[in-house]
Every structure is written in C-alpha cells, then in structure tokens.
Structure 1
C-alpha cells in the first residue's frame, strides 16, 4: 500500500515539475520564484494525495487482510461497506463470499460430526489404512474386536494382526471378500461367523484401504429361529387339522360307551381324549412362540409394573427402582420375568435367594434375575437360549428361547452366567 501511495505522489510531482517548467519558460519567471512555487505545489500535492488516498489504502488493507484469512480457512471476518464506489462493491462481494464459505464450513463440520457419530455407533467394525498399511481410522467396534477397546490409530496392520486368530489373518491377507469363523472349532455354539469386505479408493492423491468386519452370528441365529417358526406353523396347522376330528370322535365314542355301559371302552376314550387335550396345549405353546407379535412399546412407571409382577410371582427386590419410566411392552416383559422367576424357583433355590434388580445406565437398562440354585454347566449355558433345548424331562425348550425373542424384539440382548456364590444370574439389556 505504501508503494501505491509513493507512485501516486511521484506521478503528481512529475506533473507539477512539468507544469512549472512550461510556466517558467513561457513567462520567464526567475529561478528562485520557480523553486518556491514548485515546493509549495509539491507540498500541496502530497497533502492532497494523502487526503484523497488514505481511505482507499485503509480499505484495500482491510480487503488484503480478509483474503489472507481466507487462505487460513478463517471466514468469520466481514468488511465495512462505505459508499457505492468500486472498492465498496469489492467489500460487498467479499462479505457475500465470506458468509457463503462460513455456512459451507459449518455444514461440512456438522456432517463430519454426524458421520463420526454414525461410524462410532455402528456395529460394523470399520478399519481405514493408508498406503503403508497403517491404521488412520478405527471405530469403536473395530477397537473392541481387535484390541478390546484400546486405541489402534497409527499401528501397522501386521502388528495389529499378530495376536489375532489365524482365520482372521488369512481372511485379511487374501484380499477378497468372504466369511471366516472365530471361536472353538469343536464347539459350534461358541463360534462366531464374520464377513470381511475389502475396499480400495484414492484420497488426497494416496491409495487407501478399507476393511469392514460384520458379525453374522446373530443374524444367522435369527434366520435359524425364523426357519424353526415356519416349521412350527406348518406342523401345528397339520396337527390341529387332525386333532379336531379326533376330539369330536372321542366325544361321540364316550357317549356310545356310556349308552352300552362299556366301562373299559369309556376308559380308553378318556385316555385318548386326555392325550389329545395335552397335545393340543403342547401345540398351542409352540404356536405362541411362532406367532410372537411385535412389542407395543409404551412408557411404563416402575412401581406399577413391579407391583403387578409381584402379585403373580414372589421375588426379592434389590436396590432402588430407576427414576425415569421404562419404554417397553409391559405384557411381554412381564412374561419374560415370570419365565425367569419360575426357572429360578425350579432350580432348587430357596425363595429368599431369588432376587430382581433394575439399574439404569447411561444408554441402557439392565434387569437381573438371580437365584441360589445349582446353576448351569458350560454346555447348558451355550445351548439354553436355543429353541427346543431343555434339561427338564417335561420341558418344551421354549421358555428361555421365548425370553430371548422378546428381548431381541426390543433391540436388546439377554445373557446367562453362573454366580460365584452359587446359582444363576440372567441379565437383560434394553436400550433407553
């Protein structure tokens, strides 16, 4: 800006000197007077230039500072618009551009926050690698899968996979999409099925690799349950079609036996009718599992819910109830807890050792049913939640499976564990 001022003053000085020279030659003015006039004109020119161009210089300096802020990705500075001249128009254009860039920056920032939230909350394990196979991004699921939740950014892929199962290492090294299994190969119930997707893309001129790990165990389990439900519905339909005429014929046979006073024949019909009735109730239990409706979630006050539950099955409440109401299907959750309390009673536990606790965490609700019975073996623990698995001589194998279906329909999960002091603890995790 000083350079511009100097050029303007120099131009004015040259013009004054040229005019003074012409004036001196024309009028034959003495040299001393010429010098005085020239100095006075020069001083006047300097003052006029300073007065006329000082505001212009100040506004151009402000515009230069604003453009330097653009270069530093800072868009919060606005310029004062003075008048309607060309520089004011430039200042208005600058302000409009600054406002537009500020909005774009804010929108990009919000989108990055949303994307980060989605990635961190996703059950899909996401791993992003640079061209030297170093981790530059890993979400919470990836950290939990690979290092039990520890930070892994900056680690090389080779070091990261050293302590992982061989099946995972082979899947990553293959460079192809596919399935792999983790867990004990001799115990199908403890195995976890994963799908690995490989991706490559160019970002900032560098090649990057994207690895996506998706656990399919729960999805495969759900599909298995859906198949079982379909089989149950078909079998129930066929059995009901046969049981209805059998029951009708048994009733008619009993009437004929009574008319002819055939006691043994009446006893035979009574036995057939009893077994048909038992089979009907048995089928109804399976049909209930196969046709479980979607939960009707409502806000539930805990004191009212606990009072209704206690009127149907005894238990000991441990700890205080949450202050916030629950959000679930009260009828379905009550059915789950009645099943668990019934199992606790049948485990050989004394009534005083059967307890219920409800705790509210930051993002979830934990309901625990504990007993002092004999607990479960490791084999039973891995199989107990599967349909049709039962250790009881007259059990249907649907109690815990039904509990699992209801809890998973609420987007929750259920877990079973033996207590150190003896007995079993069943934990239900529900989202808030």
Structure 2
C-alpha cells in the first residue's frame, strides 16, 4: 500500500512503500530479463529432477512424471506468487493513490526497490504527485489571499446564481443587506424587498448606474456594476455596490475650487478692461475730446453684459428657486418641449395630469435631451418615456450613444464636471437639483446594447393632495 510521506518503509516481503528519499542503488534488470531467468530456472530444476528420477527408476516413467510434477509445480507456484505479490501490492497502492488524488489528497508517494520498468512508473507517479501538491498549495495560498482581499474591500460584492440564490457575499454586502449576517443561500429578491427602494429599483432596472438613498445630511450615493458569466456550466451574475458619497464630496470641493478660479479669472478679465476704459473716458472728458466716448461706452456696455450673463449662468444654478408645483397635462407640456428639441415619444402619454414646476422641469428635460443628441446618438434614437407608477412619475430620456464609463458615471452629477471641451458641467447637476427640489431623484444607467438612460422620478401629486 501507499503511505503518506514520513511513514515506515516496506517490509521484508518487498511490498510497495513510501519514497523516503534514500533509495539503495539497485542493478537495473528489466521485468522481461527477470521473468525469463525465473522460467528458465524452474524448467532447469524440473529437467534435473526428471533426469535424476529416470536414473534411479528407469522402468517407471509414470513415477518419474508424478514425482517431477509434485516437486516442480508447488515450487513454481510458490516462486511465482512470491514474485507477483509485491507487484500486486504496487498496483493496489497505485489505485489507492489515484483515488486519493481524485479526492484532492496529494500527500501520498510510493517506493519500488527494484531497478526495473516499475521503478520508472513509480518515479513518474511520485513526480506527478509532487507537482499536484505544489499546485494545490499555491492555489490554496492564492485563494486565501483573494478571499482576504474580497472580504475586506469596502465594495459590496454579491455572486448570484441564475435562479436568484446568493452563492457568495463579502462582509460589506452582509452589513449592507442583512445586518452583518450570512447571505449565502438567501434569495436576492427577498432581501431587496427589505432594502431601500432606490437600491431595489436600481437592481430591477438592469445594467450599471448610480442611485441615491437617504435625504439631506444622510444622503448616500452608490454605484451599481453588474457582470454576467458562466460558472461550472451555470449562468451567474456578479453585483458590485460601491459607495461614492465621500468621493463625490471630495470631487465637489475640488470642483468648487475650480469654479472659484474660473469666476475670479473671468472677473479679472472683465473688470481690468472696464477700469481702463473708464479711466480713458474720464481723461477724454477732462481734455474735452468727447468724440470717442460713444465707442468707449459701447465697449463698456458690451463687457458688462458679457459679465452679467456669465454671473447669471452660475447664479441660476446656485440659487434655484423653490418649484411652484401646479397640475399640468402631459400632451401640452411635451408639445412645447418638442418645439425646441426633436425626440421620439415612447408609448402613450399618461392621461392624468401631474404636479410640477413646468419651467424648471422643461429646463431639466431640455438639458437631458440636448445631452442625448450631443452624445453621438442617432437623432431618431433619442426618446422620451413618461409613465405614472402609483404615486410617482417616471420620466426617462434614452439615447443610443456610447454611454458612460464608470469614471464619468461616478462624477456625472457633480456640478461643473464635464467631459466636453466647451461644456459647463451644469446640465445633469441642474436636472438633479430640480428633481430633488420636487421631492424626487435622478438616476443614470448604461443601456443594454449601448446608450444611456437618465431617469427622473418625481411625485405625481402635490404634497397636501389626498
């Protein structure tokens, strides 16, 4: 039999045992040579016995044959059994170690004392076991390292089978969805029923995207990423939930610093020429040369209006007034919107009116629709979908552009963040402010097949409505 490394070697019968690493050097004799010599020896012994008996009993051939058989046959059986016994033991040991390898136990090795072909087989078998042991050890170490990294990452990770059962979850996911308790074996849809509504909607929507939970100081922004793949012949989905609140706040600080620098630069560029022109005008008046005053005053007026427009553009975002929510029917509102930017209406507009500030919502949707056209989407693929879902209005602007990368998705709602050379970075941020001022929220998600879907979720009725 085979033994684990460190066990006792074979006994005197020569049965297969472990490889201790200190084998005596044996003369190499092939199995064919050894068995040929054994058979030849047995035949020679039989012939010698027959000749000796024939010498003493020449007239009794039957007695010679009987005695010869009685001597040679048992001797042959005993000799052959003694030679086959260690070989059979080796075969059994090989079968046992192969079974152990199949069960994942690679701690066995074999020893064969003879220097024949079986020694080569045993050496190859032991070398295979050593390779498997090293590979198993490296794999276990990598698994431990990977599991430690996954369990300690702040990103919540869920591996969900195609049937909806959770097969793996890290510490962050357990704390986010189940109070730190084990998630494996639970169904994802059952857990989402007890989770925040924005998370449930983000998972149901499909694809990557941003969603916000909480309000005011407790507001938290998350990024949901999901990937589908086959594991052990079955379809699985990996969900990654990353909290972006702190990153967004840091980004907002950096963005506001950038805005202050931009405003300071613009003010200096405008005020310096204005001061110079005013000084020149005063000097011309003192000299009585008033013929150039109209030109100077016109230049001052132009620069002043430019500066006023610049400041008002930023002030409009910073000082968004409280929305004046009034009931508005959708057909008239959408018709006014279509006069300013082209789009396709998906389905049928809701028959019931909704309460919103028409001017603010129109501004938000104009920004979203213009962004959809500027994304590179075919014009006919830019669509507006408006639906009433219970007490909520779901307004979705869709396009078939390239969508957004994870980095852009994480920063798209930050004020003044823009990937366009001439963009102000206010379109999505203003839409977010308008949605939140109405008591709603905004979500962004890449669409299957390419493109982006920006969704405004607004309350359908006035706060004091029944």
Question: What TM-score results when the alignment is normalised by the length of structure 1?
Answer: 0.47
Greater relative CO (CA pairs within 8 A, separation 6+): 2
Question: What TM-score results when the alignment is normalised by the length of structure 2?
Answer: 0.44
